Structure 1
């Protein structure tokens, strides 16, 4: 029991640090959309899409590899730590320098005009610093130091948020005389208005540097050791993990990279491609409500799945978990989709961003299917057939690229949103069908499919039939939401009661 309690406690600590961190950074969106035009925010969206990809390249699966080899019998964990971190140190230095040399071509891919090449330099340094913290953080997890892990993570996030607020909100207000004009001489020494969105990257860079310093004890304990023969099996294990990670990033972020390249000129009259990327990126953030639920579920459920794998009734348990997870996510999908105009008005502060809110229901539904996929993926994790995850992820990546190529020129950023939905839907269906063959679970697929069709139908009614007037529109949307909740209660409550009586 003590082991279970410790596992649950550590899972909660890791989960809270991740979720709180994402919420804090998400709360910056209103400040970004108030301070920056959509074209400027497009620079942030585009470069951070590259960061997501390059994070996988910079660490190339070595974090998971370190975990795997550290738990093998007879492994000298300190020696393994030194050798893995030595390899990562060399590769990070080389990749960071290479990225700096390619700064201008990288920015040109995003159609960012010359004049701010330093953005790419700062991004390269962020990637390098974050890569160097990966193995020390993995060591903290391996040593069950969950509180230190979470504390350092949160410290970096808080510093990042605080610096963003300082440079993007406080400094402009002081320099314009709106707030504390007496501080203008002091602020003028540290603030340059021409840096613009660069302060987003600078704040991140300082936070990444602080995170590295806070891991000082783990880094001071490091001794440089390099042995290629020793590292060969590690690299052989890590390479497929890197491919899986890259496939996942294709599905998650490639649309924001492809959008400025494949969007026809003047598709949105009077708007540049960077403006479209900024609008899409800001609206994408509104799907974070679904992402947070999925994140919390993954932290709590994955250890539970493994602990239940040997139980006789585990398939029935897994089916019940998927059912209630899907229904909860369906409620979020309906509630946010029908009220997205009000929610968007609180987070997207410039009217130009509101042009893209039609993508939010599509992206919410896409993330719902991603959560379903994570649920279904339990079968290949429990059967040690994780290569199926690589195949499914690669298939999703191919579909993402093809559909973005076909749909962006026709539908703009709505094409990217639909490609994301198609990708995650395909991954969920494929994982379910393969799971039926290798690890049968009695999922109520037809029942859940009907509920999702009902949810989509209500959202479509809310979007395409919109009464005139603020009160009428809100009453209509509230009524549709209440209808879905009432239907769930009336239909599923008897099911739950029968299941309880049966046990």
Structure 2
């Protein structure tokens, strides 16, 4: 229980920064969707390029986050030497990537469909290179158990980004109308969606300077032998990461190539904007991941580790299902995150969230092969799931549009999750409380059905009222079954088993 409390505390700190940060970044969605109409396709451009960015970030870090934790916790390895070697390696490959992009910029911009805006490409390249390099000191902060600085820098980035987006998408456009000569010196209305990428670059570059303490205090050494050992461990994680991020972004990358309608950018923008509402699940999974990786590797040699992993899985399922019901229950409020032009895409929200829950479960299941240094299994599982997702998109997107993107996510994540579970039970058996978790799943399904009908047939206020009662039923069941309040005076008498 002490270990679980420690994990919960770190998850809360990482999670709070993620929650506040994601909430602030959510504010960018109404800004962008209000100022970039669905018909203009501007938000579709943002959705498409950020999907490429997410994929490139995985490639340019090539599994070194997880690898750092594994090798920094090995008794025979020097953590600072591990950190130095990874820092130099990722820094060099990031610089090489930027150089190659500038060398072949016209060809790359033409292939991606942005020959009219090549600046989008080089700005994205520099930004993702800086992001990749920053991943190393960020992971070092997690290793040193410094979640406060980690959270502070993450929030600083979001605040800077939010303020600059308000300036360039709301304030300056209005001022430009009345005084174009003066405002035109710092604002160009023809840039449009491009400002989102320029702002991201400025904010990312600024955060890099905040790591000056993490860049000193140790000797810079590139250990070739150590790097060779780490690469043998990390390359399957790279494959796993590529497959995993493709599960999340392949639909947004492939959509322009496989959807033949003239409204391609509009449809992609609608899907991307609506999916933002579902990202509460990605937020929970990300916060959990930040705390869980160092927790798992730190407990790898303890006798009760498998029992703890099983309990963590149960609590993860409980809280993600609760979050799912909250989002569905308050959809009449949350839909205002995006502009009205994008509301037709709200039907993808529950589908995307279910897929993300599956991804989170798969992440929980993935540690057995990392702990026994058999990361190749992760490459197999994620590769198979990614293949299923891509094939589903290619077959069904031309006919069903972005709805096929949402359902393909479930097929991909679900495939990886199931294969990892069944193989993992043979290779590294963990007695997960399947029956207990399924009770929560069944209850959430029943409550979700009730929310579906209340959202469809009742007025917004009535639906919100009914859904609040349904959410309370789920919360009460959690308290009765797994978080008894019997020890709390007054309240306890109502929650006795």
Range into which the TM-score falls when normalised by the shorter chain: 0.7 to 0.9
Shift of 1:12: 5.0
Alpha-carbon RMSD across the aligned residues, in angstroms, is 3.9
Shift of 1:144: 4.8
Partner of residue 215 from structure 1, selected from 211, 217, 231? 211
Q: Deviations over 1:88-128 (max 9, x none)?
A: 3332222112223444444445544x421111110011122
**1:252-271 alignment to 2 at 5 Å?**
252-266=248-262
Alpha carbons of 1:212 and 1:462: their partners in 2 closer, same or farther (altered >3 Å)? closer
Does the residue aligned with 2:161 lie in a helix, a strand or coil?
helix
In structure 2, the gaps of 5 or more residues are: 488-494
Q: Deviations over 1:392-427 (max 9, x none)?
A: 212211111111112212211110100101222222
Q: State the alpha-carbon separation in 1 of the partners of residues 207 and 154 from structure 2.
A: 7
Is 1:160 matched up with 2:161?
A: yes
Is 1:295 matched up with 2:258?
A: no
Q: State the alpha-carbon separation in 2 of the partners of residues 284 and 197 from structure 1.
A: 19
Is 1:326 matched up with 2:317?
A: yes
Give the conservation status (yes or no) of the 8 Å contact 2:69–2:143: yes
Is 1:348 matched up with 2:349?
A: no
Give the conservation status (yes or no) of the 8 Å contact 2:365–2:417: yes
Give the conservation status (yes or no) of the 8 Å contact 1:319–1:441: yes
Q: State the alpha-carbon separation in 1 of the partners of residues 229 and 308 from structure 2.
A: 37
Aligned match of 2:241: 245
Shift of 1:176: 2.9
Give the conservation status (yes or no) of the 8 Å contact 1:110–1:257: no
Q: Deviations over 1:308-338 (max 9, x none)?
A: 7777776565545434432333233234235
Is 1:124 matched up with 2:113?
A: no
Alpha carbons of 1:129 and 1:376: their partners in 2 closer, same or farther (altered >3 Å)? closer
Is 1:61 matched up with 2:63?
A: yes
Partner of residue 272 from structure 2, selected from 273, 281, 286? 281
Q: Deviations over 1:409-447 (max 9, x none)?
A: 221111010010122222222233233333444434355
Aligned match of 1:48: 50
**TM score, norm. by length of structure 2:** 0.83
Shift of 1:249: 0.8
Aligned match of 2:22: 22
Aligned match of 1:134: 135
Q: State the alpha-carbon separation in 1 of the partners of residues 381 and 479 from structure 2.
A: 32
Shift of 1:224: 7.2
Shift of 1:226: 5.9
Does the residue aligned with 2:190 lie in a helix, a strand or coil?
helix
Give the conservation status (yes or no) of the 8 Å contact 1:408–1:416: yes
Per mean C-alpha deviation after superposition, the further-off stretch among 291-300 and 154-163 is: 291-300
Alpha carbons of 1:55 and 1:308: their partners in 2 closer, same or farther (altered >3 Å)? closer
Give the conservation status (yes or no) of the 8 Å contact 1:51–1:127: yes
**TM score, norm. by length of structure 1:** 0.82
Give the conservation status (yes or no) of the 8 Å contact 1:340–1:360: no
Aligned match of 1:269: none
Q: Deviations over 1:278-315 (max 9, x none)?
A: 11111111112222233333345555556777777765
Partner of residue 389 from structure 1, selected from 352, 372, 378? 378
Q: State the alpha-carbon separation in 1 of the partners of residues 224 and 304 from structure 2.
A: 47
Alpha carbons of 1:277 and 1:104: their partners in 2 closer, same or farther (altered >3 Å)? farther
Q: State the alpha-carbon separation in 2 of the partners of residues 299 and 82 from structure 1.
A: 21
Q: State the alpha-carbon separation in 2 of the partners of residues 373 and 2 from structure 1.
A: 25
Q: State the alpha-carbon separation in 1 of the partners of residues 307 and 70 from structure 2.
A: 30
Partner of residue 201 from structure 2, selected from 199, 205, 209? 205
Aligned match of 2:350: 361
Aligned match of 1:416: 405
Shift of 1:219: 4.1
Aligned match of 2:491: none
Q: State the alpha-carbon separation in 1 of the partners of residues 471 and 81 from structure 2.
A: 57
Alpha carbons of 1:494 and 1:121: their partners in 2 closer, same or farther (altered >3 Å)? closer
Q: State the alpha-carbon separation in 2 of the partners of residues 316 and 226 from structure 1.
A: 39
Give the conservation status (yes or no) of the 8 Å contact 2:138–2:150: yes
Per mean C-alpha deviation after superposition, the further-off stretch among 1-10 and 477-486 is: 1-10
Q: State the alpha-carbon separation in 1 of the partners of residues 482 and 82 from structure 2.
A: 52
Give the conservation status (yes or no) of the 8 Å contact 2:25–2:158: yes
In structure 1, the gaps of 5 or more residues are: 267-271
